[in-house]
């Protein structure tokens, strides 16, 4: 589903990293921050904003991720060829922050949404303890194609929608925007205490939408909130949308059809899809059946 996942075999901008869990911290009812360390992080080059990476998580019963090969030419075939039940699962996540501490230790934060044990990544995160090792494919150059947030020159406002899975990316984007950038944002989270503190030098107006339910009417709620906002400041907005795929598509239609935004200025990404695991989404991508993220694609 992600560029890193689907195109990784050919990607020169990415490399393998061994990530060791240093600590975990609960940020809200749905969010767990896992801070990773590891010597290989010295070569990790996050481009910031919504930089994503692919994690390989160990199958149940194994403490650490072991890949048969990390060679750029044959890792993919070797990984795919592993027997079911032994193959680490690959999942897309966001680099919430990369830093080097005052003591010179390289650290990486990833904020996991805990959505229960039905997903291997959520299950793994909920049980993560210090010392566990996973593997990742991440950037070795800061300018890489897994940074999707790329406002065109001349944009005069940023309009954003994110659900909880994209809130880490939205938070990182907000931190990086130039001072005074006009931002209008809608963030959808499951619970009140998932409204994480955000900091930004931008001139941002944020609307929080709290579901507090099973989320069946999530798309309708989001569209209602977008429509209720009335006219938005900005003649040449850049629109960034990420979250559940169906809701993201509906939000894109809203901005293109109801607010007449040039579709080339809308970056939209389905971070997950209700009822489908990432394997299923990847299988669709390999079969060429995945809904397009191309800004020019039909609605």
Residues near ligand FAD (CB under 6 A): 1-2, 52, 91-94, 111-113, 115, 118-122, 165, 168, 269, 271-278
Q: Where are the alpha helices (DSSP H) in 190-244?
A: 218-228
**Residue 275 or 288: which CB sits closer to ligand FAD?**
275
Is residue 261 a contact partner of residue 151, using CB atoms and an 8 Å limit?
no
Residue 52 Cβ vs ligand FAD, minimum distance, rounded to whole Å: 4
Residue number of the CB closest to ligand FAD reads 119
Residue 164 Cβ vs ligand FAD, minimum distance, rounded to whole Å: 6
Residue 85 Cβ vs ligand FAD, minimum distance, rounded to whole Å: 15
Adjacency order of strands within the sheet including 97-100? 89-94, 52-57, 133-139, 14-26, 31-37, 106-113, 97-100
**Residue 49 or 93: which CB sits closer to ligand FAD?**
93
**Residue 215 or 234: which CB sits closer to ligand FAD?**
215
Residue 1: name the closest of 287, 299, 281, 295 by CA: 281
How many other C-beta atoms can be found within 10 angstroms of the C-beta atom of residue 262? Answer: 14
Residue 222 Cβ vs ligand FAD, minimum distance, rounded to whole Å: 15
**Residue 91 or 254: which CB sits closer to ligand FAD?**
91
205: helix, strand or coil: strand
**Residue 233 or 283: which CB sits closer to ligand FAD?**
283
How many other C-beta atoms can be found within 10 angstroms of the C-beta atom of residue 40? Answer: 17
Q: Which residues pair with 92 in a beta bridge?
A: 54
Residue 275 Cβ vs ligand FAD, minimum distance, rounded to whole Å: 5
Separation between Cα atoms, residue 69 and residue 79, nearest integer Å: 7
């Amino acid at each position: 589903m992600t560029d890193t996942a689907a195109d990784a075999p050919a990607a020169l901008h990415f490399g393998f990293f061994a990530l060791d869990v240093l600590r975990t911290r609960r940020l809200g009812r749905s969010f767990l921050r896992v801070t990773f360390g590891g010597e290989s992080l010295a070569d990790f080059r996050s481009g910031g904003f919504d930089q994503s990476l692919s994690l390989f998580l160990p199958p149940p019963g194994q403490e650490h991720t072991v890949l048969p090969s990390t060679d750029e030419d044959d890792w993919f075939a070797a990984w795919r060829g592993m027997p079911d039940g032994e193959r680490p699962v690959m999942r897309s996540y966001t680099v919430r922050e990369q830093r080097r501490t005052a003591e010179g230790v390289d650290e990486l934060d990833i904020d996991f949404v805990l959505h229960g044990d039905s997903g291997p990544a959520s299950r793994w995160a909920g049980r993560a303890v210090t010392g566990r090792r996973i593997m990742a494919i991440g950037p070795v150059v800061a300018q890489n194609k897994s940074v999707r947030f790329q406002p065109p020159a001349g944009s005069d406002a940023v309009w954003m929608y994110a659900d909880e899975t994209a809130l880490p990316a939205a938070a990182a984007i907000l931190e990086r925007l130039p001072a005074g950038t006009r931002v209008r944002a809608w963030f959808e989270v499951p619970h009140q205490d998932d409204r994480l503190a955000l900091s930004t030098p931008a001139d941002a107006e944020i609307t929080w939408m709290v579901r507090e339910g099973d989320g069946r009417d999530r798309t309708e709620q989001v569209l209602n909130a977008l429509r209720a906002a009335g006219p938005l400041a900005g003649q040449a907005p850049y629109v960034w949308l990420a979250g559940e795929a169906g809701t993201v598509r509906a939000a894109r239609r809203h901005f293109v059809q109801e607010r007449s935004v040039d579709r080339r200025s809308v970056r939209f990404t389905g971070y997950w899809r209700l009822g489908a695991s990432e394997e299923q989404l990847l299988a669709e991508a390999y079969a060429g059946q995945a809904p397009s993220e191309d800004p020019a694609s039909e609605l």
